[in-house]
Structure 1
Amino acid sequence: MERQKNLIKTLIAEVIDKMSVEGSVEIMEEVDCPRFVIRTKEAGLLIGEEGKNLMALNSLIKKMADNLLRRDGIEERFVYILDVNDYQAKKIEDVKNEARVNAQRAIYFKREVEMEPMCSYDRRIVHSILSEYPNIKTESVGEEPHRRIIIKLNENVII
Structure 2
Amino acid sequence: MSILELEEKSVEEAIARACEQLQLPREQLDIEIISKGSSGIFGIVGAKKAKIRVTPKVLPATAVAERAKMVLTEILKHVDLPTVVEAENKEDYVYLNIISNGSGLLIGKRGKTLNALQYLVSKILQQEFTESLSIVVDTENYRTKREGSLTELALQLSEKVKRTLRPLTTGPMNSQDRRIIHLALKEDHDVRTKSKGEGNLRRVVIYPVRRGKKPQNKITVTEQEA
Provide the C-alpha distance between the structure 1 equivalents of 2:156 and 2:109, rounded to a whole number of angstroms: 25
Q: 1:64 aligns with which of 98, 110, 124?
A: 124
- 1:128 aligned counterpart, secondary structure: helix
Match of 2:28 in 1: none
Return 5+ residue gaps in structure 1 as ranges. none
SS of the residue 2:64 aligns to: helix
Distance 1:29 1:2, change over 3 A: closer
Alignment root-mean-square deviation, CA: 2.3
Where has structure 1 moved over 4 Å in runs of 4 or more?
28-32
The secondary structure found in structure 2 opposite 1:134 is coil
Unaligned residue ranges in structure 2 (runs of 5+): 1-60, 216-226
* Equivalent residue, structure 2, for 1:2: 62
Deviation at 1:27, TM superposition (A): 3.6
Do the aligned partners of 2:196 and 2:205 also contact (CA within 8 Å) in 1? yes
Code of the aligned partner of 1:51: G
Distance 1:80 1:132, change over 3 A: farther
* Larger fraction in helix: 1
Q: Is the 8 A contact 2:65 2:88 kept in 1?
A: no
SS at match of 1:145: helix
Q: Distance in 2 between matches of 1:142 and 1:30?
A: 32
- What is the rounded CA distance, in whole Å, between the counterparts of 1:2 and 1:118 in structure 2? 32
**CA deviation map 1:64-114 (0-9, x unaligned):** 12123x2xxxx2211131112222221122111111211122123222122
In 1, Cα distance between the equivalents of 2:119 and 2:201?
A: 20
The answer as to 2:173 corresponding to 1:113 is no
> Does 2:109 match 1:49?
yes
Q: Out of 15-24 and 57-66, give the one that drifted further.
A: 15-24
> In terms of Rg, which structure is larger?
2
Deviation at 1:137, TM superposition (A): 1.0
Check conservation: 1:111, 1:153, Cα contact below 8 A.
yes
Q: Which residue of 2 aligns with 1:26?
A: 86
Percent identical among aligned pairs is: 27
Name the counterpart of 1:126.
181
State the TM-score, normalizing by the size of structure 2.
0.60
CA contact (8 A) 2:96 2:136 kept: yes
CA contact (8 A) 1:28 1:34 kept: yes
Residue aligning to 2:34: none
Question: How far apart, in 2, do the equivalents of 1:11 and 1:146 lie?
Answer: 30
Q: One-letter code of the match for 1:91? A: R
The alpha-carbon deviation at position 150 of structure 1 amounts to 0.9
In 1, Cα distance between the equivalents of 2:164 and 2:74?
Answer: 51
CA distance in structure 1 between the partners assigned to 2:92 and 2:207 by the alignment: 27
Quick one: distance in 1 between partners of 2:144 and 2:90?
10
Tell me how far apart the structure 1 counterparts of residues 91 and 83 of structure 2 sit (CA, whole Å).
25
Instruction: State yes or no: 1:142 paired with 2:202.
Output: no
Q: Which has the higher contact order (CA 8 A, sep 6+)?
A: 1
